[in-house]
Every structure is written in structure tokens, then in C-alpha cells.
Amino acid sequence: MSENVRLIKFEHFRGLPANEFELRGRNLVILGTNGKGKSAVVDGIEFIFSGQVARFTGAGTGSISHNEAVKNVKTGGDPKVVLALSNAHGARGEVSRALSSESIEVTGPGAFRAYFDQHPSVDGFVLRRSKILDFVCDQDADRYQKFVQLLGITKVDSLQRAFVEAERQAKATNERATTTLQTKLAVFNDPVTDFTPQSLADVFAHVSVIVESFEFEKLEKWEDLEQRLPLLTAKRPNANRDKVDALTRALVSIETPLAARPDADVEQANELRGKITELAGSSSDSPRAKLIDRGKAYLSARPDETHCPLCEQEFDKPLEDLLARLKSRSDALIELRAATSSRHAAIARIKRYADDLSAQLEKDLEHSKLLGNEDKKRLRDARAAALRFSRLIARAIGGSFTGDISLPDRLLPVVETRSSLVESLKAQKTALTPPDTTKLEATITLVERGIASWKDISETEQTVGNSSEILRRTTIAKDSFSSAREAAIQAVFTHISGTVIDYYKRLHDFGEGPESSECTALELKPTSRAAAGGLRLAIQFLGLADSKDPRAFLSEGHLDSLGLCLFLAAVRIFNPPGSLLVLDDVLTSIDKEHRRRVGVLLYSEFQDHQIILTTHDEHWNDLLSTSARAWGLQDRWRYIKLEGWNVETGPVLSVVESSWTFIDENLTEPNYRNLGGPFRLVIEDFMKRCAAEIELKVKFKTDGKYTAGDFVTVGIQDKIRDKLIRLDGENETVIRSDVGNVFGQGDLINILSHDNPGRLEITFDQAKDFIDGLRSLTRRCEDHSLIR
Amino acid sequence: MNNPTQEEAESTAPPRDLRAELLQDLSSQFSAALESDGSLPVAAQNALVELLDSEAPTAAQIISAASKSDPEEEEAPDE
């Protein structure tokens, strides 16, 4: 972004009835005591970027009406905020928002719209005093969500959810197959011998032992049963042999368990049908899914695009609206795809149930000669219902039936019917079987059952094996993805925490030993909650082994500065260069020296952002101003002081021109001789701050009014020179030259030691050398912590 | 912003695209994790890693990818 804010205008907004704050493209410090309108300026920035002021909305705002709160109490007009922008090419325009309008208005080049669009959400670039601790005290889940939003990694979490869902589905499939296998094996349970088979191999071993007890050859394979069966039936008494045989076959069929009712699948299919109907509008987009994704990617990468790349027509809506619509269509398609896929799977399982049921009932009906008319009718009705149901489900799969699915009522009594039939057939068989042939008949039944079901059970075992393998692979995929996600996210958060601890140390490290930062390491660690995610913040205190929640160790002031570092690290890492950084009175609990360091951090790390600061602290305001000079950044900052406020005009502004500003603007041949006063102020400020840091022994003054002479008399110049050379020997020549330019002009120092130095009787070059040397020395002392 | 000088503009490192880095890292970490497990067919590993490039793979697509077998396995005669 090469755009910057020239001016912020307010109309009828809060305590700003008709006010302007001129930035001229620079950073801005707004200084004012409480109640002068500082926070209203920040409210206005929040309003223009989000359409609301968050502190007047949501939980805890009680009876506050947002719209009333943003109105000016006196004028009663439509609140409006305007950002006047310019860019590096000199183009000008405005972004404005009125309360009565639903959207912003943009004039000027398209890039001004992009400037607005590319800003993150307000929480990402505006920090208020009341929010500073949120970064430290957030719940892990909230902190995670905050950073996930900043990172834009929602895709990673949706992938994680898909892997978890895949494993869940694979597990459900495996469990269904296992239950089916167990049901099929259960017909071989023998309570007499306490036999409960776990596999087809168990059944085979059991059948083999029993068949061999009739002194037949050992069974080698299932097919051998076909040969053993006639040998066994030959042992029956002749009487009723055929009848008993028919009853045995009928029992084997009717005792075969039916598939479990697919009630859950029916419920799921119907629920998903409702969801798919809701997304019906999106289904027409399906063929265009790839085009939508490509469109999203194309336009996201071209914020200045004004025409469609396909038809070359000019967009009739702002790019932001088009992107939002494409995203919405893409999200809906993804949801539709997932719902359709799940419904197809559920319907396929219902179809399999209907087909298996009708096939089994057909087998049952092969023994209809043994059944009563009523039972026969019930089984036929049930089979007909199963066939009709199967055809209906086939239509649902084909798409010609889109209604709700329900299991036919006629299928409901079939289990009871078959159960009573089994009892009836068993009773008939018992009546026809002599007591001494009970074991033989039981064995014949077992063999018949084996012949009838071993292939089916073998296939079911295969299905269980396959589904177990798929479940194993899906679990590996999910676990691999989880660990990859954790490692990849950790790498990002390690980078972020490195920046945070760097900033924190720059605010708190005063050297080695007891004055170094008590916070020796900082950790942002994603917690291993499968799909939801959390982010734990912990610090290492004084090098202790365990990292803990910073609230366990740090003072209120240090927690504030840690919160500030977390926020600034996020701004530095995530926000585009050129975007705004707004800090609303965030340093109230931070002491003077730390405040100065915050200023240095802003100068060194955020030169490519436009900063707006509000403060009631004159000292920090002066520090910022002085340090900006030392960094040579004086032309990038403006200082506005709110002198007062009244209901008619809002804040009473005065643009603060500091001594340094005055010097810069008047260090010219015609004017420089009038700079005695400002020269005195800047040299005294420099010497006082250095004297405090290097603990210079100066004669104590009860009134605290020290002059330049007080410091020079005790040799401040020698101490600063020697310390700097010791710390920065490579630049000894420059250091000696700077010290000479500043302190080597005895007459000048003498003049500057007076309260009113009067006209400077030195040459223009001497004055310039003095100021250049002082600026260079201040910067050097900043770098080596020789200045407070 | 603030019309930085040419030198300053050049000295300011461009912000890292952490999102792109994360997705790239995720893909390579995922691929390495699947490979180190050693029990998945290569075809399944490749299909699963490819899924990360798609916008939003469904659970069914993940299961389908995980179920893939290597050609030689498919052609191997049943013993």
C-alpha cells in the first residue's frame, strides 16, 4: 500500500461535531487529558472500517443504543467519518462512512478501495487500553481462534475436521460389518457346550469335531460337508425321514438372522435431504465449481481489478462484494458436496438392507409347503414390501425420487413372524424325532446350517477385514495429518513467539545480570484438541525450567507490556505494510523508561505503518518527539494537543511544534541566530537523560534546575565519549568528531547554560555541526543504552 | 506509507507469507509422516497428499484415497 491518511474528518460523531485531524500522511500523536475527545477519534477509525464501535455493542453494554452513542448530542445530524487519502503519485481521494448508509463511499483511484479492503479486521490494527490484557488472559481456544483468523488457516482446520470425520465413518462402517458378522456367527452358538464362535474358523473346528464323532473322516474344507450330509441323513430312521429333512432345511433358512434395520441411515438420509434442499440454489453452481475457485483466486490476487477477465465487462459491484459472493458460493458448494456424498452412502446401505431382506424372505418362502397360510401370507407381504422398497430406493439413488424415506410398515412384524415360525417348526420336528436321534438331528441341522451360510459368512469376514484395513489406513492418515498440522502450526507460532519475546526483551532487558528481563523465554503452543484447537501462552521466568502462564509471575505493568508485544508482533507479522496501527492510551501502567523503549520499538519496527497514538502522558509525548529527532524521523510525526473541549466545537486543538521541529524549520542562514532557546532545551534534555543513565556525579540542586554547564563542568562529554568508544570502537573517529561538534565549542555551551541564551554569536556552519553532532550522539547513545 | 526513501524501502524485508509457508510445511510434514509409517501403499500416500491441494476434500474422498493400492499389489495373484 502506498496510500496514506492525510486527514480524518468527523461530522456529528460523538464529541466531534465538525472536526478535522490533519496527519499530512505522517504518524500522529494526539495528546490530551481525559474527556478531550482522544478515544472518539479512535471510535471514528473503528467506525469507518467496521461500520460500528464495538464498545457500544454486544454483551455488557446494557441499555446503550449503538446508534445513539455514536451521534453527537448537540447537532443530532447523521454521524459521518471521512478518511482523506493520498498516494505516492499525488492522487487524492476519500473513504467515508455515514451511519445512515450501509456501505462505505470511496472516491479517487481504485487503489483507495484496496487500501480499505486490505486492512485486517479492526481488532487486528486498533489496540485500546481495555483490550491490552486480552492478549495475555484469553482462553486458549479464543487465543487460537484469534490467531487462526489472523493466519487465515481455516482451511487447515476444515481439513482436520474432514480427516476426523473420515476416521469416524470408517469406524462406523467397520462396526456395522463386525456386528453383521457377529449376528451371522451367532446362529452357531451352542449353549449346551458353551460354544460362541468368534470366526468362521471357530465354526469349522466345532462342526468338524461333531461330525467326526459320528466316525466320519476328518473335514479338510467346508465343501466336505456336502459329502458328509447324505452320510448323516442315512443314519436317520426311515420313518418321517423326508419330513424331518424338510423341516431342518426350513429351520436353517428361517433361523438365518435378518440384517439390522437401517433406522439411523433412514434418519440421516432424510436430514441430509433437508440440508441439500436448503442448498438447492447452490446445486446449479456445481458445474461451475472450478470456475468459482479460479475466480476467487484470480480476484484475490488482483485487488485493483475492475473488469471481468472473461467477458471484459466492468464490474457492477465493488470487488469486495464479488469476492464475498464467490466465497459464499464456494462454501455452499463444499457443504453441498459433503451432504450429497453422505446421503448417497446412507441410501446405498438402505438399498443393501432391502435387497438382503427380500432375498432372505425368498429363501424362507421356498419352504412354504411347511408353513400355514397366514404365515405364508405375512412373509409374502413382507417380501413384496421389501421389493417395492428396494425399487423406491433405486429411484432415490437415480434421482427420480427425492422425497423423505421411511421403512414400510409391513416390514415391521417380519422378525416376530419368523421367530414364531421357528418355534412352530422346531416343535413339529421334535415331535417327529425319536429321543435317541436328537444328537444326530442336531448335527444334521448344524451341517445344513454350515452348508447354507459358510460362503456368506466368509464374504462378511472379508468385508470386516477390508473395512478394518480401511479404518487402519484412515486412522494413520488422520494421525499423520494431526501431527503434521501440529508441527506446521507450531513452526508458525514459534516464529510469532520469537517476535514477541524479541519485542519484550527490547522493552525490558537493561543489560546483563539482575537488570535483564525476568521473562527468559516465551511459548505459544497449540494444544492437541483434535478439530477445535487451543493455543497456550506460557513464559519461562528467570530461566526456570517450567514455562507457565505469565499471570503466575508478571506484574500488572509487565503483563500490559507483554500484551502490547503480542499485539505488535501480530501487526508486524500479519498486517500489510502501509496499513494503520492505532494505539489508544495503551501505556498508562508502563513506567517512563519502558515507555521510551516502546517509542524506539515503534520507530525501528513499524516505519512502514502509519501510526496513530493517543495519550494523556506529556512525558511520553516529549520522549516520542525527542527520540523521533534522534532517529531522523522528525518529518514523519505530527503532534496534536487537545487543549480543551466544549459541546459546541468539540476539542480545541493546537499543533505542538517541539523544539526540534522549530530548529529544523529555522536552521537557515537568516534565522539560525534565533535558535538559542531551542538549542538550550535539546542539549539539556540530552545531557539530563545521559547523566541519569551513566550515573554522572553532578552537584545536587534542590530546585532540580540543571544547566548545560552543570554537566559539562563534571566532564559529561569525556564520559560519554569514552563509553561510546569502548562500546563502538569502530566509529571512534566519528564519535570524537560528534563530541567535538557538540561540546568543543566552549562559548556555545556557555551561552546555552543561560536561561535566556539570546542571539547565537556563532557561524551557521557551527550551528549546523552542533545539531548534526547532537542528533548523531543521541542516536548512538540510544543504540548503546547510554541514555534514559 | 510515509514515503520511505529508496534505501529504507529496500532495507525493509517483505513480510513473510506465513499462510503459504504453513500450507507448504503441512504438505511436506504430512507426506513425511505417511512415509515414515511405512504401512500405507505409495498410491494411497500420494492420493492423500494430493487431497491437501483441493479446496475442501470430503471424508468420502479421504477414505477413497486411503483405500488405494499400488498397481503391483492389485495385479498380484491371489494366493
| Domain locations along chain B | 42-72
Least confident of A371-375, A520-524, A583-587, B4-8: B4-8
User: Is residue A584 classed as helix, strand or coil in its secondary structure?
Assistant: strand
pLDDT in tens, A270-315: 998 888 877 766 556 656 666 776 777 777 767 677 777 777 777 7
Label residue B4 by pLDDT band (50, 70, 90): very low
Considering CB atoms only, which of B2, B48, B58 is closest to A338?
A: B58
pLDDT in the model for residue A286:
58
The pLDDT value given to residue A494: 86
CA distance A336 to A283: 7
Q: Is the model more confident about A706 or about A721?
A: A721
> Closest approach of chain B CAs to the CA of A173, in angstroms?
11
Q: Which residue has the higher pLDDT, A380 or A554?
A: A380
pLDDT digit string, tens, across residues A502-513: 998 888 876 655
Q: Do A166 and B66 lie within an 8 Å CB cutoff?
A: yes
Give the pLDDT score at A59: 64
3-state DSSP assignment of residue B73: helix
Taking CA atoms, what residue in A is nearest to B16?
Answer: A573
pLDDT at position A533 is: 67
Q: How far apart are the CA of A553 and the nearest CA of chain B, in angstroms?
A: 31
Residues A39, A131: Cα–Cα separation, whole Å: 13
Is any Cβ of chain B less than 8 angstroms from the Cβ of A294? no
pLDDT at A277: 79
The model's confidence at residue A516, banded by pLDDT at 50, 70 and 90, is low
What does pLDDT average to over chain A?
85
| A610·B18 Cβ contact <8 A | no
Q: What is the pLDDT of residue A658?
A: 65
Tell me the DSSP string of A297-322: HHHHT-TT--B-TTT-PBPSS-HHHH
Residue A52: pLDDT band with limits 50, 70, 90 = confident
**Sign for the pseudo-dihedral over CA of B32, B34, B39, B45:** negative
Facing residue for A485 by CB, picked from B8, B21, B26? B26
* SS3 of chain A: helix, strand, coil, percent, to 5: 60, 10, 30
User: What pLDDT does A28 receive?
Assistant: 92
Considering only CB atoms, B62 lies closest to which of A474, A492, A574, namely A474
pLDDT band per the 50, 70, 90 thresholds, residue A703: low
Name every residue whose Cβ is closer than 8 Å to that of residue A680 and which is 6 or more positions away in sequence. Answer: A708, A752, A753, A754, A757
The three grid cell numbers given for residue A587, joined into one nine-digit string: 501505556
Q: What is the reported pTM?
A: 0.62
Are B25 and A487 within 8 A, CB to CB?
yes
β-bridge mates for residue A583, sequence order: A127, A613
Q: What is the length of chain A? A: 788
Question: Is A606 an interface residue toward B (CB < 8 Å)?
Answer: no
Mean pLDDT of A444-459: 94
Report the SS3 class of residue A285. Answer: coil
B63, A474: Cβ pair inside 8 Å? yes
Q: What is the pLDDT of residues A572-629, one digit of tens each?
A: 888 888 899 999 988 877 777 788 888 889 988 898 899 999 998 877 787 787 777 7
- What is the per-residue pLDDT for A701? 73
B62 close contact with A: CB closer than 8 A:
yes
d(CA A42, CA A333): 39
| ipTM of this predicted structure | 0.81
Q: Which of A182-196, A200-214, A462-476, B65-79 shows the lowest per-residue confidence on average (mean pLDDT)?
A: B65-79
pLDDT at A321 over 80: no
User: Residue A495: its chain B contacts at CB < 8 A?
Assistant: 16, 18
For residue B66, give the 3-state DSSP assignment.
helix
Q: Which domains does chain A have, with CATH numbers?
A: 1-125+577-656 (3.40.50.300), 168-258+436-473 (no CATH), 263-425 (no CATH), 661-783 (no CATH)
Q: Lowest-pLDDT range, A185-194, A199-208, A482-491, A503-512?
A: A503-512
Give backbone dihedrals phi and psi of A20, rounded to 5 degrees, phi first: -130, 140
The most confident of the ranges A408-412, A617-621, A691-695 is A408-412
* Chain A residues close to B8, C-beta within 8 Å: 607
Q: Which residue has the cell 524521523?
A: A633
Question: What is the share, in percent, of chain A residues with pLDDT greater than 90?
Answer: 35
In this prediction, residue A285 carries a pLDDT of: 60
